[in-house]
Chain A
């Protein structure tokens, strides 16, 4: 996801010289092309994220579109007050990029687990929060945040769900969730690269005769309530999936939206990380397995939840129903 995002940023920087990229001394090998092609639009601020963010605000107030770039929590939590007071309050054209959402850098330890960022960032006024679910969305997000005035946060995941335009000529819009496939029994709303696990879960469920819809919630703020509300009205069963703490992330957001609109699902569960640190380390895939966020476990828990509520749902080995899944997402 990272390389695709940066490649697109290079293309954008070519045609818009206001685009400036400031890195907090990270991006070895990844930012070389940008640095070489646009030396007057590239700054290495050193390992100093507070200054990086203040600097970005100052440059943005002078008319530039400034991307700050780092990994994990460094471009967000380390300089949170600069984001809030400087960038957000001044509505500066600062685009914060964090590479490594969730357990992307799982083996590096808790310092590099970005598992509270969505909750924290979405609480800041005037901040657009984007968490692409796949490569296509990441590429589209690069352009979309460039064109969106004000402060944006882009959470780049190491993994990437299977995505692409749902139909030829689909236009990506920030704040517009994408219904990747329709389901008649339940709906899975997901954000970030963990989309791949949600899609795997939907496939497994289908093989058990359960039809699950999948919604890509690539923009956490502003949040597109309609597809979630509609899906809830249609199926009555809503599940959320995120590689993020259960506290304040996508699941909380969907719950807020449903309650605010008086739309009450019969079955609702937030698949997320328990609050706390994971002192156990490993690859992103390994840690998803450990915390029950892999496709197989998700499918098992969803079918179990549905069966409890609707005993008539038979989980059997009969042939899968006719799929409504866009073949691109199989």
Chain B
């Protein structure tokens, strides 16, 4: 891993990601802050402690690949890349604005560090599978991480990819599911129940672990013990809270789409800045 940059600790990074994302979505009038906050700790731990990436060489062949398959949380990854020095944090202010390259759903064009543009759910794991398979065939050591949402697991294409990766024992592929239990209209359990979720993945041949998706130490510990089962792809089911970090957004369907403005924005920022 490159050593020449000063690294931010995951705890600090997660707070910055949430503050950036709140400003970005508020300025742009964008949705999905609840989904961004639920995954912010996962993204922070990945970029602070886990991913072998080098901002000076975004296309470094041995870098770990990260695909944000839940592309609607793009603001979080943009913020993480900016904080890691892939581009200026000033660019974040253009998010969702006229003429910007920083689209609401994550895009790679002109953005160093983004591996794959997503937005339509159910695409990332297949592409990640291809990267992982290619890496294995070529004897390369990089790992491929795919961050998914729970609602995204409704997409049949994911189960094609899960079946494929299990069959081919892609042990250099890691899925992380942001299991915040709420999708865009209603709770997951009322939409399409995913439980028994662990059993589903394991029966498809994956090594599965569950973790508190807001506990940085436990997240890092799990992601340092890959693969979870030898010769198997790994999935980390991160139990999270939608809207985590702002009391009035937590566990609320409303904040999938609602954008914090005015007094709501101020209250949210105060909570985030005051929070641990």
Contact = CB atoms under 8 A, between A and B. Distances in A.
B106 to A, nearest CB: 12
A258 to B, nearest CB: 34
Interface residues of A, number: 26
Interface in A40-98: 40, 43, 45-46, 48, 50-51, 53-64, 66, 81-82, 85-86, 89-90
Interface in A86-144: 86, 89-90
A59 B133 contact: yes
A46 B130 contact: no
A174 to B, nearest CB: 25
Given A55-B164, A85-B117, A50 B131 contact: no
B157 A55 contact: no
Contacts of A55: 126-127, 129-130, 133, 161, 164
B164 A51 contact: yes
B127 A64 contact: no
Interface residues of B, number: 30
Nearest to A51: B160
Given A40-B137, A50-B157, A51-B160, A58 B129 contact: yes
A91 to B, nearest CB: 10
A279 to B, nearest CB: 27
B127 A54 contact: yes
Given A59-B133, A63-B134, A85-B119, A48 B127 contact: no
B195 interface: no
B32 interface: no
B131 A61 contact: yes
B123 interface: yes
A99 B116 CA distance: 29
B130 A81 contact: no
Contacts of B108: 90
A51 B161 contact: yes
A81 B123 CA distance: 9
A48 B133 CA distance: 16
B128 interface: yes
B145 to A, nearest CB: 13
A45 B164 contact: yes
A54 B161 contact: yes
B123 A86 contact: yes
Contacts of B119: 85
Nearest to B134: A62
Interface string B106-148: 0011000001111110110111111111110110000000000
B246 interface: no
A61 B123 CA distance: 14
Contacts of B133: 43, 55, 58-59
Contacts of B127: 54-55, 57-58, 61, 86
Nearest to B108: A90
Nearest to B167: A46
Contacts of B222: none
Nearest to A89: B117
B27 interface: no
Nearest to B155: A50
B88 to A, nearest CB: 24
B156 interface: yes
B117 A54 contact: no
Contacts of A82: 123, 126, 157
Contacts of A54: 123, 125-127, 129-130, 157, 161
Nearest to A49: B160
B153 interface: no
B120 A81 contact: yes
Contacts of B130: 54-62, 66
A16 to B, nearest CB: 15
A51 B117 CA distance: 16
B53 to A, nearest CB: 16
B30 to A, nearest CB: 20
Given A46-B163, A48-B164, A90 B117 contact: yes
A46 B108 CA distance: 29
A59 B122 CA distance: 17
16 contacts: A40-B137, A43-B133, A48-B163, A50-B122, A50-B126, A55-B161, A57-B126, A59-B130, A60-B130, A62-B135, A63-B134, A63-B138, A66-B130, A82-B123, A85-B120, A90-B117
Given A54-B125, A62-B134, A86-B127, 16 more contacts: A40-B137, A50-B126, A51-B161, A54-B130, A55-B129, A55-B164, A57-B126, A58-B127, A58-B133, A61-B131, A62-B131, A64-B134, A82-B157, A86-B123, A89-B109, A90-B116
Interface of A: 40, 43, 45-46, 48, 50-51, 53-64, 66, 81-82, 85-86, 89-90
Q: Which 8 A-B pairs have the closest CB atoms?
A: A58-B130, A54-B126, A51-B160, A48-B160, A62-B134, A50-B157, A55-B130, A58-B127
